[in-house]
Amino acid sequence: MKVLMPYFKRYHVDVWIALLSVIVLVFATLWQPRLLQVVMEAIIKNDQQTVFREGVMLLGLAALGIVGGIVNTIYSARVALGVATDLRADLYAKIQSFAYADVEKFSASNLVVRMTNDINQVQQIVMAAFQQITRIPLLFIGALILAVVTMPEQWWVIIVMMAIILLASWLAVGRMTKYFAQTQQDIENVNTVARENLMGIRVVKSFVQEPNEIKKFSAASDELTGVTAKIGYWFSILMPIFFLTANLAVGVAVYLVGQNITTHPGYLAAITSFISYLMQILYAVINGGFLMTFASRAFISIGRIDEVLATEPSMTYVEGDEAPLSGDVCFEHVTFTYPGDDQPTLKDVSFTAPAGSMLGIVGATGSGKATLAQLIARLYDPDSGHITIGGVDVRQIPEKALRSTVAYVLQRSTLFSGTIAGNLKQVKPDAEVSHMQWAANVAQASEFIERLPQTYDAPVEERSQNFSGGQKQRLAITRGVIANPEILILDDATSALDARSEKLVQEALDRDLQSTTTVVIAEKIASIIRADQILVLDDGRVSGCGTHHDLLQNNQIYQAIYQTQKAREEGVE
């Protein structure tokens, strides 16, 4: 609960009202059987005046308990909702501060479950804490004391009942705790299978994999069902044990009172109150047992949330000037290994790209092209060596300065639901329509945007399903160039464009972003043939660097790529 204490302090007034109201509720609950005993004694004595007076007090006490319960519910809910909302916001903000490697370490589906299901578990336990967890100890202690005061000779009946119930609860909790931890993992598995299926629905449909996907989901769902059923089995065993024990205790108490009614006639009025206190003790113990099992699941969720909040980002940024730097890029003996891999992806890479130049990067699949681009944008830090932008090591560049200097356009275009303008303003919040039109002209996106009824206010559906692959790539390029960055990275960002559109985009980049350093990763040599210099990567190393004509003369890998693509094009012709 240490994680939650700072959040409780934010709602300290609501916390105190919830606690005071639960004390009022417990007092009303405990004192009602006592007044009922007085009423019963007055009925036996035929004392009508006392019956009326105590009856009115009994009704007033019931009304007080109702008011206390309503106030407690309202303020408990306010605390629970407030704490859950603030915790969710802080958890999301923490995730946003993570480096790309930190997000990959947890996985996206894992983090989503922690922000949703685990937060819900915390909200429920906070609600229960101010409704039940604070109420149960007070009710238990008060009922125990008043039960012993009411019928002192029956104290051992209470002790035996409590011992049996506590033993059963202890055994059950020990078995169920491991199942609660497994439940959270199984929820993540179900979420992962469903998310992958929905995101890859086109692949599923095209290969007619629906039956296999159903089997995969059913397997994950059955695993969750099996664990949940085991928890249910334990609850189904506990309830009969609890109520059987309580009913036996009541039966024993009534039997003993019947045996001694002649010597203790006052027990005739006291037995009703004693049974009420006995049932209150049972209620407290049963609910305490259930809350222990419920709390064990919530504590697992709190631990999972704390794990995220306590994780320090693997990459931090210095404070400083937010102004963008010049577009010079320099790699000096850079080596990089992905977390969890044994072999480095990039090995002793060195090159320099002057500001305003075009750098092309080619190589076989897995040669490290995308990794090199990610290091420029500082999605990762190298194991060794130095990367400088504008003569400054990227580790010494403030985050906003780096983001305003480098724009990164991925091959897999990711647009967020909302509007086209909303996506463009992610990069340039103060963008006017004129800025959007300029960027769209560069990316050759204006031709379809202008045909939309709402133009730049046109909606973008979830996962941008209302746009084709080529349109999404052009919108992504528009978003990349709208702030006129000093460095523009195109990670195979024109792969979905036809040859004409790709050529127009390249010409527009040359014309309108002359001072921008353009880093182009491409599978097709035609996309980088006009680059000022081309890096050829082979198994993470730079095997050649130069212009297209230089590499055709002296680099065998480049020659092989060129001849393969040339032969393919001639074959198509």
In this prediction, residues 91-118 reach a mean pLDDT of 83
The region of weakest confidence among 180-184, 436-440, 531-535 is 180-184
The region of weakest confidence among 3-12, 118-127, 283-292, 310-319 is 283-292
DSSP state for residue 497 in the 8-state scheme: S
- Check pLDDT > 70 for residue 268: no
User: Predicted confidence band at 71 (pLDDT cuts at 50, 70, 90)?
Assistant: very high
Compute CA 230 distance to the chain's CA centroid, rounded to the nearest angstrom. 27
Whole-angstrom distance, CA of residue 469 vs CA of residue 381 = 31
Which tokens is 133 given?
Answer: 């967890």
The region of weakest confidence among 22-31, 112-121, 176-185, 397-406 is 176-185
- Check pLDDT > 70 for residue 88: yes
434-472: pLDDT as tens digits: 888 888 888 888 888 888 888 888 888 877 777 887 888
405-420: pLDDT as tens digits: 888 888 777 788 888 8
pLDDT of residue 67: 92
User: Predicted confidence band at 571 (pLDDT cuts at 50, 70, 90)?
Assistant: very low
Long-range contacts of 459-462 (CB under 8 A, 24+ apart): 459/418, 459/419, 460/415, 460/416, 460/417, 460/418, 460/419, 460/420, 460/422, 460/423, 461/417, 462/417
First-to-last alpha carbon distance for the chain, in angstroms, is 70
Tell me the average pLDDT of the chain. 82
Which tokens is 183 given?
Answer: 């439940």
Phi and psi torsions of 330, nearest 5°: -140, 125
- Check pLDDT > 50 for residue 572: no
| 12 exposure class (CB count in 10 Å sphere: 0-12, 13-18, 19+) | exposed
pLDDT of residue 118: 86
- Check pLDDT > 80 for residue 336: yes
Query: Is-contact 75 293, C-beta < 8 A?
Result: no
In this prediction, residues 264-268 reach a mean pLDDT of 63
pLDDT of residue 470: 80
- Check pLDDT > 50 for residue 139: yes
